[in-house]
Structure 1
């Protein structure tokens, strides 16, 4: 290469490019430039040089067919790699499918165990239990676009899931509140669902009863529902107050009395003064005085606030503001 003048090298390259462009090759003996280049390449022992695994000898092999730019070793290696990659992809996809199938099977079993025995309930159950958060669940539930009575299944499933958790989870309360604010029909449905639960208190498991206490307490303290939800509890009727029922509502009022004074005031005030809540108010006062206060004086202060709030009217100012 040292003996090759720059001008001659450029002329050779331009001539070669021109021939390639015109798709032709001159039938003549090698030029001086060509001869010099060949000698230079031989000095560099290019036959042993690999370009990305490709030998010059195989690149220039006129008998090479197919992917002429790949050496035999590379083709073999690439083929093996492709096969290995394909196999790995298949195994990966298979594992994913098997995993998803296993998860789906577990979800079906869990849904069946929680009484989700219809397609609608199962769909709602899957959304609620697999959502990223309550907003994600809320939006996906709306997209179900359930019609007629099917829409009522949403709140039934939400409450049932909340009551069957091993540890009480406020996620279901927040989701229920979001649904109630969005559509009053959900609020009515939740009220009837709670009333249905009240009819089963005497035979209800303790954990489920405790979760129901906390759930309803969250609903009234968040102002999603009022204490009017206790209407079907018949707290003033001693003939309907069995041991477990008494214990249940005792826990309920004790839970509410843990709240701050102003929250207790506003919770009880919401059913204060109105004639339509007269029986509910009398039942609450009777039950608290007999079963919650009794000989225990720790809740007297909160009950005084609650009792005053029950007798208040809408115009009365909040004394804790």
Structure 2
């Protein structure tokens, strides 16, 4: 009994510190941090039977929990992917969720100037995992303005860490990640921004990523002629 009370008190304190002690954030938060594994969390979240648009808080809470960890935990990525695969509304929420006038992921980009390094790193790793698992695409970076010629150090560091995380994947994975946005007219500005940013801040400064950038640049090419056969198949 004492142990349960102590655990509950600890959870309450943690929730209060992260502003998760209101409904429906409180039950969502408790399930996510106390679950045995991602399957347990997934099943319990489905049983919450949230009404109306309350289920949009699931992704908001999940991302915030991920960013609050001292060490990056892929558990949150696996759970997010499971939810998105189950219901496309969760994927839509993760990409475009409007909360207090900002988007669920894009609003964090507006906070980068004041975001501490660990939180920024966790955000880059979370999105890199979502992109590499094809739950999201690089289109999630559309609001990042990567083509800006003047960029503050915190934003440079953040997006450099993101592309470095992506370039850690195997060549065929890098090809497929960048290829997904190669032919979308809506991503033309983004493609220009990605190439500009990587050339200026990533590939030019760290030679070990030069070969990965060559693969990415080729994958991004939006040619009109018939698409070449995927070299990694």
Q: TM-score range by the shorter chain?
A: over 0.9
Give the gaps of 5 or more residues in structure 1: 1-95
Deviation at 1:312, TM superposition (A): 4.9
What is the DSSP-based 3-state SS (H/G/I as helix, E as strand, rest coil) of the residue aligned with 1:258? coil
Q: Which residue of 2 is the match for residue 283 of structure 1?
A: 193
2:89 corresponds to which of 185, 204, 207: 185
Cα deviation, 1:250-275, whole Å, max 9, x if unaligned, reads: 11111111110000000000001221
**Contact 1:269 1:309 (C-alpha < 8 Å) held by counterparts:** yes
Instruction: Look up the match of 2:24.
Output: 120
Q: Is the 8 A contact 2:12 2:21 kept in 1?
A: no
Structure-to-structure mapping, 1:52-71, within 5 angstroms: none
Please name the residue that 1:250 is paired with: 160
Show the counterpart of 1:110. 14
The equivalent residue for 1:155 is 59
Aligned to 1:319: 231
3-state SS, counterpart of residue 208 of structure 2: coil
1:8-27 superposed matches below 5 A = none
C-alpha distance after superposition, 1:134-182 (max 9, x if no partner): 0110111011111222111000010000000011000000000111111
**Counterpart Cα distance in 2 of 1:178 and 1:116:** 22
Structure 2: gaps spanning 5 or more residues: 96-102
CA distance in 2 between counterparts of 1:148 and 1:287 reads: 40
State the alpha-carbon separation in 1 of the partners of residues 84 and 110 from structure 2. 23
The structure having more radius of gyration, on CA atoms, is: 1
Q: How many residues align?
A: 224
Partner of 1:141: 45
Q: How far apart are 1:294 and its partner, in Å?
A: 2.1
Query: 3-state SS of the aligned residue for 1:213?
Result: helix
Given that 1:269 and 1:312 are in contact with CA atoms closer than 8 Å, whether structure 2 keeps it comes out as: no
Q: What's 2:117 paired with? A: 206
Tell which has more relative contact order, 1 or 2 (C-alpha 8 A, sep 6+): 2
What displacement does 1:115 show?
A: 1.6
The aligned residue for residue 259 of structure 1 is 169
Asked if 1:230 corresponds to 2:152, the answer is no
Alpha-carbon spacing, 1:289–1:125, altered in 2? closer, same or farther (3 Å): same
Tell whether the 8 Å contact from 1:152 to 1:186 is kept in structure 2 after alignment. Answer: yes
| 1:279-309 deviation digits (Å, cap 9, x = unpaired) | 1111100100111122432211110100010
- Please say if residues 265 and 305 of structure 1, whose CA atoms lie closer than 8 Å, have aligned partners that are also in contact: yes
Deviations 1:200-230 (A, max 9, x none): 0111010000101110100000000000000
Across the aligned residues of Structure 1 and Structure 2, the Cα RMSD in angstroms comes to 1.4
Q: 1:294 to 1:315 in 2, by over 3 A?
A: closer
Is the Cα–Cα contact under 8 Å of residues 20 and 26 in structure 2 kept in the other structure?
A: yes
* Contact 1:120–1:150, Cα closer than 8 Å, also in 2: yes
